[in-house]
Amino acid sequence: MTGQDSVAVRGSGEPVELPAAPRYGSRSVGEVMTSAAAALGVPGFENALSLPAAQRFVVVLVDGLGSRLLSQVRGYAPTLRSAQSLGELDAAFPSTTSVSLSCLGTGRTPGRHGMLGYDVLDPDTDRVVNMLGNWPASLDPLAWQPGATVLERTAQHVDTVTVSSPRFESSALTRAVLRGGRFVGAQGVHARTARALEQLKEGRRGLVYFYWDDLDKTGHKQGWRSDAWLHALEELDSALKRLVTRLPANTRVVLTADHGMVDVALEGRIDVSAVPELMRGVRNTAGEPRAVQLHLEPGVSPEDVVGRWREHFGDAVWLATRDELVGSGHFGPDPEPAMLARAGDVWVLGREDIALYDVARQGTRPLAMVGQHGSLTEQERAVPALLW
């Protein structure tokens, strides 16, 4: 949808309280890989999730498998249903792949690793960069995120392997936050599962990171309530059964996700660039459709922008300035100023099932996406932690 009339004011325009920050350090996706490393006996890590000791761990990250989604379709996933639940975890903020994978891969919070969304402003060049692809050649992933990764640290002590699609081996995101150890690429669900099993050798301590992106791709294209999404879930469950029933002794599998998802109907997909009053004073937009970041022109008051967006959208969104998000802990404790410089001055977060686009910057193609995430609803932020 485009134009001023695409969404009416939904409420009084009064502020709506922002949900609490993710439980960084105790119950977030950032504690999964570090806890597995600690359970393997790798020094320097804390087992915040109290995982049992083992000789080998497989950490499975299923892109887009929110725990609230899974609870509604458990009948389609007997292997997932049979696992021991470690309770819900929180996705990172914003609840999107690049941010949560960076927390998983580095063990640090968003304010410390600086991967702050799908699209992120590079303040050195005033250029918006897609964190999942098409990084400019001048932007070095190791300079963008220079801290050692969990895989790098773990590889110094145990056999460390990533199993994923071959196209991710040299991606900028991998080099920034998931570098370290060996990379084993395989196409297709069963091939990847077979390759993961091949890495688990008796008598050898090891950590296997197993990334699964098929579910998320289907959800974005057709929605998580679609038959296609259920079919992708059944394929995932079948592959997991092959994995967990063929594990060598003293091997554990822990599964989590990077975010959940909400389906947004066509009438809820809104072009904010077609509303001049909203874009007044906005220099750049970044983020994602349910977690839009507004970078303002010098001298423009963030509070004034918040007021105008609140008047337009009412309680259909949560609105917060960067300083408010820092104060509430959404980027984690003690964020680094250099990393915060990448964050928008104002954040617009979907509370109802809407998605906001800057079509002038992004074009119309993203408007076709059904499944969305990035915001702070339980549907998007709650992810599972399962153990076999």
Per-residue pLDDT of the chain (388 residues; tens, 9 = 90+): 333 233 333 334 567 789 999 999 999 999 999 999 999 999 999 999 999 999 999 999 999 999 999 999 999 999 999 999 999 999 999 999 999 999 999 999 999 999 999 999 999 999 999 999 989 999 999 999 999 999 999 999 999 999 999 999 999 999 999 999 999 999 988 899 999 999 998 788 999 999 999 999 999 999 999 999 999 999 999 999 999 999 999 999 999 999 999 999 999 999 999 999 999 999 999 999 999 999 999 999 999 999 999 999 999 999 999 999 999 999 999 999 999 999 999 999 999 999 999 999 999 999 999 999 999 999 999 999 999 9
User: Which pair of structure tokens corresponds to residue 124?
Assistant: 């050195």
The DSSP element (H or E) to which 232 belongs, if any, is helix 227-244
SS3 content of the chain, % helix, strand, coil (to 5): 35, 20, 40
Residue 340 near residue 324, CB atoms below 8 Å: no
Q: Which two tokens stand for residue 17?
A: 């309280």
pLDDT of residue 369: 97
Q: At what angle do helices 227-244 and 189-198 cross, to 10 degrees?
A: 20
Q: Phi and psi for 160 in degrees, rounded to 5?
A: -130, 125
CA 321, CA 187: separation in Å to the nearest integer?
Answer: 42
- Burial of 307 from C-beta contacts in 10 A (0-12 / 13-18 / 19+): middle
Q: What is the pLDDT of residue 4?
A: 29
User: Which residues are registered as beta bridge partners of 161?
Assistant: 182, 208
* pLDDT on residue 7: 32
* Residue 214 host element (H or E): helix 214-222
Number of other residues whose CB lies within 10 A of the CB of residue 362:
16
Helix (H) or strand (E) holding 221: helix 214-222
Instruction: Check residue 201 and give its pLDDT.
Output: 84
366-385 in b/e burial notation, b at 16+ Cβ within 10 A? bbebbbbbbbbbebbbbbbb
Which residue is associated with the tokens 């423009």? 300
Structure tokens at 297: 């022109």
pLDDT score for 171:
96
Q: In the prediction, which pLDDT does 13 show?
A: 52
Asked if 178 contacts 101 with a C-beta cutoff of 8 angstroms, the reply is yes
First to last CA, the chain: 45
CATH numbers and ranges of domains, the chain: 4-18+264-372 (3.30.1360.180), 29-262+379-387 (3.40.720.10)
Contacts 24+ apart (CB under 8 A), 196-203: 196/58, 196/163, 196/243, 197/242, 197/243, 197/246, 197/247, 199/159, 199/161, 199/163, 200/56, 200/58, 200/247, 200/248, 200/251, 201/159, 201/248, 202/248, 202/249
CB 363 within 8 A of CB 56: no
